[in-house]
Structure 1
Amino acid sequence: MNAVLLAVIIMIILSLCRLNVVLSLFIGALVGGLAAGMGLNETITIFTSGIGDGSEVALSYALLGGFAALISYSGITDYFVEKIIRLIKQDSTVKTRVWTKVIIIVSLIMLSCLSQNVIPIHIAFIPIVVPPLLSLFNELKLDRRMVAVVITFGLCFPYTLLPFGFGHIFHEIIKKGFDQAHYTIQFDDIWKAMLIPSLGFIVGLILGIILYRKPRIYTKTYDADFIPKEISRYTVAVTVLAIIVTFVVQLLTESMIFGALAGILIFFMFRVYDWKTLDNELVGGIKIMAYIGVVMLTANGFAKVMNESGQLKSLVNNMVMLTQGDKSLSIIFMLIAGLIITLGIGSSFATIPIIAALFIPFGQQIGLSPLALISIIGTAGALGDAGSPASDSTLGPTAGLNMDGQHDHIWDTCVPTFLLFNIPLIIFGYIAAMVL
């Protein structure tokens, strides 16, 4: 069996068996490296060197988690959630509850979409917004699997289609992949080619809302005696200022690290709370997001081993041999290969350069048009990002929804998002490649 395929399968099986994702990635990389004939020492050395490639992202997420904790500590989100819950209890009709659920779902879709294109903070909004809402979710008996699907949709759909924010980066990576293959395409052609494949996300979102619409009871419910802390106008003003400064600095420096640091410093400089209290809250927030950073670091080590194994190219070549030049089968195998590679690496952005180098020459051989090739590469990159245990698009929602220990990362986030998004993506990606 191909070493990359073996490594990904082992990683997925171990994750489904509820082994920690970090351990699953490490064992998968170790088995993949040994199967590729790299040897134990070489595999560990390459894995270790790959970890460093994700250090900036890991530190960014940790600091953003700390910043989010300071915002949450201000009490703003708790205050609004408490008001909503009391209104529901006063008018506890089916109509009120349904409309509240609709407002929550629409708001989360808008927030997660804005975090990709308009205000590029990615998953940093999740620890700010989601944990205070858990008591409201419990009161409404809202299935958190639906919430995970909704947030993951907002984290993935915008960047695949819209060339703004993270979407601009994603499209630039696709364009660069074609440039390196000496294949000329226009930047504006990318969103046009991704128009049909991105419909797969919309279909998955609709299916997720329908499938998980029924009430689901969680053991911990809202405390009726809970009284939110009093919020002064000064606290509100400083919190808003910190958020604005974070966004501005991040946009100016193009660094999530310095953006988060700027926001954190605002809280300390304006002394809204005691420094010791703020420091404790900051450390607590860092702990929440630090686990995501550790998974991302491990995923980078896994990806490095897969790249250095030399088995990625042979994986695609074996699939090409099976298709025997058939266009339809070739497209299906290319999409499946993209799914396998992205599941292991956990990032569509990191996957694009790999699959572009492999797919462009092959696509030219079977006579695919530029738009068809773009749609395949873009779709193959997005495949798995919405279902990989190592993807921040799944780790982010889990970090927020599992604050009270009632949301499993694999079975409540990864499995639903994998099935609901990846299957429609393959279908619509195939249609796009055939008609473009």
Structure 2
Amino acid sequence: MNAIVVAIFTMLALSLLRVHVVVSLLVGAIIGGLVGGLGLHQTVEIFTQNVGSNANIALNYALLGSFAVCLSKTALPDALIQGALKVVKKDGDSKKKAYSKVLLVLVILFVSCSSQNLIPIHIAFIPIFIPPLLKVLNELEVDRRLIAVVITFGLVTPYMWVPAGFGKIFHDIIQTNLRENGMLITSQSIVEAMTIPSLGMIVGLCVAAFITYRKPRQYKDNQEMKDKPAEVTYSKLNVVFATLSVITTVVAQLLTDSMIFGALSGVIILIITGCVKFSEADKTITDGMRMMSFIGFVMLSAAGFSAVLRETGHIESLVTSSTAIIGDNKILAATLMLIIGLLITLGIGSSFSTIPIIAAVFVPLCMQLGFSELATIALIGTAGALGDAGSPASDSTLGPTAGLNVDGQHNHIWDTCVPTFLHYNIPLIIFGVIAAITL
């Protein structure tokens, strides 16, 4: 019995039963380690020793949460909400409401996609941009599962296809690992090869928007939303300072290549300008860290979980055992390779880390089966991206949940992971196989 399959399915099953994701990762790691022959003591030791490898990411999210809460104390969220409600609120005008809903979803989609390349801040925009818009989303009766699907699309599809920002990093990883395993390719070939799989993501987004989640869904405004007056007076100077803090955060993150220092710069600007009172700064920052602590703990646990999976050595045996039943059937080979990539990424929560794991075996296998260079790129790139949408431990799902669940009405597994898994991974497998046999 393969330890990778057992560990991942244990983790997913517990998560679907609403067991906390951190507990699910712990139990999955222990069972996977035991099945892989590591023993209880060695499994626990490997897990605990590798938890710290994601500490930097956890600190990123903690400070981003602090910046988001500090920003919520300024006039900027009120200005955003009030401006949006002026567009949305049109008594008796259902057509106006429908247009406003479409416009808001398109804006969120644009911002999400831009966070990967135009302004590469990844999920840093979510705790800043989404919570202030929840009242507007409630007003429009927008299904938050649709917003989760939209944000995840913006976090995944651009790096798959566009060679800029995080996409350049992803493409460089593909190019480097294919070269190290005997296949020389150009960066333009990656764009061409990933076009068809990216179309699968677009299909999934359209299905979610126009079929699955097009119906209205009602949410309750929390007490803070109810207490907030319809018309809020605010200082335009505070809006300027808050906007300045957002720009400073983006610029500092780009200059230092660190979300930690980016968020810290934004917090400092808000305190210096008086948008956040110095006497309240400590509590505000702590509240922000508490808000994002869920992501931090999941990422720390995911690091230990993935270390146990790698240490079992069963990733290689999973690939090897699958190749034994392929023969010369290209469709079966492509499907199995994509499913293996899906399982690995679901477990470790990182498409970027999946590529080096699978390339060493997939490249020789693709050469042996007669896949073209473009088909090989499509298979490895798609196998890496598969699972990023839907993994309980991926920041592509944790980020949307952190923004949409600030009032406790959005479940991480059932409202983010399951919708994104169904709408993206299924089309990715289909379009990935199409790319493999047509390119």
Q: Secondary structure at the match of 2:8?
A: helix
Give the deviation of 1:134 after TM superposition: 1.4
Match of 2:415 in 1: 412
Give the deviation of 1:129 after TM superposition: 1.5
Aligned equivalents of 2:51, 2:355: Cα separation in 1: 19
Deviation digits for residues 91-118 of structure 1 (CA, Å, limit 9, x no counterpart): 3311011011011110000000011111
Does residue 94 (structure 1) correspond to residue 126 (structure 2)? The answer is no
Aligned equivalents of 2:232, 2:282: Cα separation in 1: 19
Aligned equivalents of 2:276, 2:416: Cα separation in 1: 36
**Aligned residue type for 1:409:** H
Matches within 5 A, 1:84-123: 84-86=84-86, 88-123=88-123
Q: Secondary structure at the match of 2:214?
A: coil
Match of 1:208 in 2: 208
Match of 1:355 in 2: 358
Structure 1 residue ranges without an equivalent (≥5): none
**Aligned residue type for 2:367:** Q
Match of 2:10 in 1: 10
TM-score normalized by the length of structure 1:
0.96
Aligned equivalents of 2:325, 2:50: Cα separation in 1: 32
Give the 3 Å change call, closer, same or farther, for CA 96–310 of structure 1 in structure 2.
same
Match of 1:427 in 2: 430
Match of 1:218 in 2: 219
**Aligned residue type for 2:242:** T
Aligned equivalents of 2:70, 2:233: Cα separation in 1: 16
Deviation digits for residues 382-434 of structure 1 (CA, Å, limit 9, x no counterpart): 11101111111111111111111111111111111101100100011111111
Give the deviation of 1:241 after TM superposition: 2.0
Contact 2:242 2:275 in 1 (8 A): no
Does residue 386 (structure 1) correspond to residue 386 (structure 2)? The answer is no
Give the deviation of 1:227 after TM superposition: 4.9
Give the deviation of 1:358 after TM superposition: 2.3
Contact 1:15 1:21 in 2 (8 A): yes
Does residue 309 (structure 1) correspond to residue 312 (structure 2)? The answer is yes
Match of 1:157 in 2: 157
Give the deviation of 1:228 after TM superposition: 6.0
Does residue 400 (structure 1) correspond to residue 403 (structure 2)? The answer is yes
Q: Secondary structure at the match of 1:197?
A: helix
Aligned equivalents of 1:19, 1:65: Cα separation in 2: 24
Q: Secondary structure at the match of 1:323?
A: coil
Give the 3 Å change call, closer, same or farther, for CA 356–228 of structure 1 in structure 2.
farther
Aligned equivalents of 2:92, 2:377: Cα separation in 1: 50
Give the deviation of 1:279 after TM superposition: 2.7
Contact 1:299 1:345 in 2 (8 A): yes
Match of 2:66 in 1: 66
Give the 3 Å change call, closer, same or farther, for CA 236–353 of structure 1 in structure 2.
same
**Aligned residue type for 1:212:** Y
Match of 2:328 in 1: 325
Aligned equivalents of 2:166, 2:393: Cα separation in 1: 19
Structure 2 residue ranges without an equivalent (≥5): none
* Paired-residue identity, %: 52
Deviation digits for residues 73-102 of structure 1 (CA, Å, limit 9, x no counterpart): 213122321343355444331101101101
Contact 1:175 1:185 in 2 (8 A): yes
Match of 1:52 in 2: 52
Match of 2:181 in 1: 181
Contact 2:328 2:369 in 1 (8 A): yes
Deviation digits for residues 283-323 of structure 1 (CA, Å, limit 9, x no counterpart): 21222222111111111111111111100011011111121
Contact 1:75 1:229 in 2 (8 A): no
Aligned equivalents of 2:346, 2:26: Cα separation in 1: 14
Deviation digits for residues 308-349 of structure 1 (CA, Å, limit 9, x no counterpart): 110001101111112123222111100000001111011111
Match of 1:255 in 2: 258
Aligned equivalents of 1:92, 1:81: Cα separation in 2: 20
Does residue 270 (structure 1) correspond to residue 270 (structure 2)? The answer is no
Does residue 288 (structure 1) correspond to residue 291 (structure 2)? The answer is yes
TM-score normalized by the length of structure 2:
0.96
Give the 3 Å change call, closer, same or farther, for CA 67–199 of structure 1 in structure 2.
same
Contact 1:68 1:124 in 2 (8 A): no
2:303 to 285, 300, 305: 300
Q: Secondary structure at the match of 2:195?
A: coil
**Aligned residue type for 1:32:** G
**Aligned residue type for 1:133:** L
Match of 1:244 in 2: 247
Aligned equivalents of 1:207, 1:19: Cα separation in 2: 29
**Aligned residue type for 1:156:** V
Give the 3 Å change call, closer, same or farther, for CA 196–238 of structure 1 in structure 2.
same
Give the 3 Å change call, closer, same or farther, for CA 4–270 of structure 1 in structure 2.
same
Give the 3 Å change call, closer, same or farther, for CA 184–91 of structure 1 in structure 2.
same
Stretch deviating more after TM superposition (66-75 or 367-376): 66-75
Deviation digits for residues 10-64 of structure 1 (CA, Å, limit 9, x no counterpart): 0110000000001101111110011000111111111122212111111111111
Aligned equivalents of 1:80, 1:92: Cα separation in 2: 23
Give the deviation of 1:373 after TM superposition: 1.0
Match of 1:23 in 2: 23
Give the deviation of 1:161 after TM superposition: 0.3
Give the deviation of 1:225 after TM superposition: 5.9
Q: Secondary structure at the match of 2:103?
A: helix
Contact 2:70 2:276 in 1 (8 A): no
The alignment yields a C-alpha RMSD, in angstroms, of 1.6
**Aligned residue type for 1:201:** M
Aligned equivalents of 2:8, 2:247: Cα separation in 1: 41
Aligned equivalents of 2:198, 2:228: Cα separation in 1: 45
Aligned equivalents of 1:305, 1:269: Cα separation in 2: 45
Give the 3 Å change call, closer, same or farther, for CA 182–203 of structure 1 in structure 2.
same
Aligned equivalents of 2:82, 2:276: Cα separation in 1: 22
Contact 2:341 2:384 in 1 (8 A): yes
Aligned equivalents of 2:76, 2:94: Cα separation in 1: 27
Match of 1:125 in 2: 125
Aligned equivalents of 1:88, 1:367: Cα separation in 2: 56
